[in-house]
């Protein structure tokens, strides 16, 4: 049968031809360096960064790259080798961690309705909320001066260990909130955070980090449980650093550890620092102050600020991030279970003391 004698075949050929035309037009488009503003709920993912060749650990970037290829922004081989599109994420969020303002930089073909097309190929809990053109040499990780994270937690985490606490009934009093904020403020400035991550020794210069602000906001009630949000802004953070900073403050407020332990943790001795659950951690925004001063008003580039997207960010958090944290906390009780492990930690012994005890017991 010749194509024209069969209507079905004719339609299919037309459709294929149209798709090929679009593909050909896409190929002719020059590639441009852009940044994408991303929001995602991290539950069920092994962090942001893609592990090429490791399919059992699904990451946010796996879904993103797949959507970029399917929408026609990047050729398939760029998905396999991300260096070809100069891909860089601003922050590597850990397993289960969400983001409301993650930034990735990459080279793409600027196709029509680009955001809509990418989002059509993404699950609803991952959204691209904005796009801006940037300078050709822009790298979202290196050009970022600071990152702001939030940590949402049920306030019963701050109840003293000697008090019998009914989780749903507990409400944070003013005095305890002030104590929490006094302790969080101790982290401000530059300190050696080697005790707040793994695989970094006390003499490693990269363990020194600069914290600009850290505080706990006013508590609020959701689904009968009171929550509060801790905000922290720093130049950059190491793996598990924020969760350990918060874990140590909780241990002090609950009465397991002395306040002096924060000062001790900057020293060279190994300190046993507990790591709060990953569930409540959210990458709120990333800051490009130096870049904005230099290129934001040069007439060619826009400053990397997202005031117009604030509304979309807020809606996404209310729709996907907060409900996930609240419901997972209620179903899996990650904070309750973690709080039960605090008595196991030895907050009085340094590594030297522990080794001596081990020798004696042997």
Q: What is the pLDDT of residues 81-97, one digit of tens each?
A: 888 899 999 988 888 89
Residue 311 has a pLDDT of 96
All CATH 3.30.70.660 domain ranges of the chain, comma separated, are: 146-292+316-352
Sequence-ordered list of residues with C-beta below 8 angstroms from that of 362, at least 6 positions apart, any chain: none
Nearest to 273 by CA among 177, 162, 195, 329: 195
Return d(Cα 211, Cα 249) in angstroms, integer: 15
Provide the β-strand partners of residue 317.
none
Fold of 31-143: Alpha-Beta Plaits (3.30.70)
d(CA 128, CA 38): 5
Token pair, residue 323, equals 């409900």
Annotated binding site for substrate: 149
pLDDT confidence bin for 53, thresholds 50/70/90: low
According to the model, what pLDDT value does residue 299 have? 81
Average pLDDT of the chain to the nearest whole number: 88
State yes or no: pLDDT of 9 exceeds 80.
Answer: no
146-292+316-352 is classed CATH 3.60.15.10: no
CATH 3.30.70.580 boundaries in the chain: 31-143
CA distance 260 to 278: 25
Closest CA to 105 of 37, 169, 201, 30: 37
Q: Using an 8 Å Cβ cutoff, are 314 and 39 in contact?
A: no
What is the reported pLDDT for 26?
62
φ/ψ of 326, rounded to 5, equals -65, -50
Note whether 150 and 223 are within 8 A (CB): no
Among all residues, which ones are annotated catalytic? 94
Listed in sequence order, the DSSP H helices in 238-345 are 241-253, 261-266, 289-295, 310-316, 322-332, 334-339
Distance CA 195, CA 178 (A): 25
For residue 24, pLDDT over 80 is answered with: no
pLDDT tens for 309-353 read 999 999 999 999 999 999 999 999 999 999 999 999 998 865 444
Q: Is 236 exposed, middle or buried (0-12, 13-18, 19+ CB in 10 A)?
A: middle
């Amino acid at each position: 049968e010749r194509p024209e004698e069969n209507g079905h075949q004719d339609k299919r050929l037309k459709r294929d031809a149209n798709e090929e035309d679009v593909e050909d037009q896409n190929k002719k488009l020059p590639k441009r360096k852009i940044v994408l503003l991303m929001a995602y709920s991290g539950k069920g993912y092994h962090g942001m960064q893609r592990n090429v060749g490791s399919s059992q650990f699904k990451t946010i970037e796996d879904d993103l790259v797949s959507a970029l290829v399917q929408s026609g922004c990047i050729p398939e081989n760029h998905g396999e080798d991300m260096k070809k599109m100069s891909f860089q994420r601003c922050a590597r969020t850990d397993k289960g961690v969400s983001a409301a303002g993650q930034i990735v930089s990459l080279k793409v073909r600027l196709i029509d309705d680009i955001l809509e097309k990418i989002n059509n190929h993404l699950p609803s809990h991952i959204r691209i909320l904005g796009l801006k053109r940037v300078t050709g040499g822009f790298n979202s990780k290196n050009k970022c001066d600071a990152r702001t994270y939030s940590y949402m937690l049920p306030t019963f985490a701050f109840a003293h260990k000697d008090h019998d606490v009914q989780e749903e009934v507990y409400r944070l009093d003013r005095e305890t909130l002030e104590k929490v904020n006094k302790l969080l403020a101790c982290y401000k400035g530059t300190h050696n955070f080697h005790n707040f991550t793994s695989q970094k020794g006390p003499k490693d210069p990269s363990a020194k980090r600069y914290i600009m602000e850290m505080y706990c906001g006013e508590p609020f009630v959701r689904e009968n449980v009171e929550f509060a949000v801790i905000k922290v802004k720093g130049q950059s953070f190491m793996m598990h650093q924020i969760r350990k900073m918060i874990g140590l403050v909780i241990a002090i407020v609950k009465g397991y550890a002395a306040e002096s332990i924060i000062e001790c943790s900057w020293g060279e001795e190994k300190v046993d620092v507990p790591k709060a659950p990953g569930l409540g951690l959210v990458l709120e925004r990333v800051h490009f102050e130096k870049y904005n001063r230099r290129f934001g008003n040069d007439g060619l580039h826009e400053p990397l600020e997202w005031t117009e997207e604030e509304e979309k960010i807020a809606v996404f958090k209310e729709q996907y991030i907060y409900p996930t944290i609240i419901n997972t906390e209620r179903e899996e009780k990650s904070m309750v279970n973690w709080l039960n492990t605090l008595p196991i930690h030895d907050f009085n012994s340094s590594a030297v003391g522990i080794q001596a005890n081990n020798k004696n017991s042997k």
